[in-house]
Amino acid sequence: MLVKTHYLIEGCILSKEIRGLSNRPIMYEKTILTTRLIEALQAFLITEVSVEKTLIDGRKFLPKEVIDREL
């Protein structure tokens, strides 16, 4: 699902690779997000990312707003 980066929490798993303006990957698919990595995304001005529906510990991820559910 596509969500805004300010709704991310620690333990989210990226479902798609994130590329920068130079087309080089910033983070790869299946990266487990930490607080530091979320801050890095915000520093790169990434506003939305695709994440899996479950967190690394198996709980469901329920952000306040979902841009696209990617059915």
Quote the CA–CA distance of 34 and 2 in Å, as a whole number.
18
Give 30: exposed, middle or buried? Use CB within 10 Å, 0-12, 13-18, 19+. exposed
The pLDDT tens digits for 4-45 are 999 999 999 999 999 988 899 999 999 999 999 999 999 989
Q: What local confidence, expressed as pLDDT, does residue 71 receive?
A: 45
Alpha-helix residue ranges (DSSP H) falling in the chain: 35-43
User: Are the beta carbons of 52 and 13 closer than 8 angstroms?
Assistant: yes
Q: What local confidence, expressed as pLDDT, does residue 56 receive?
A: 95
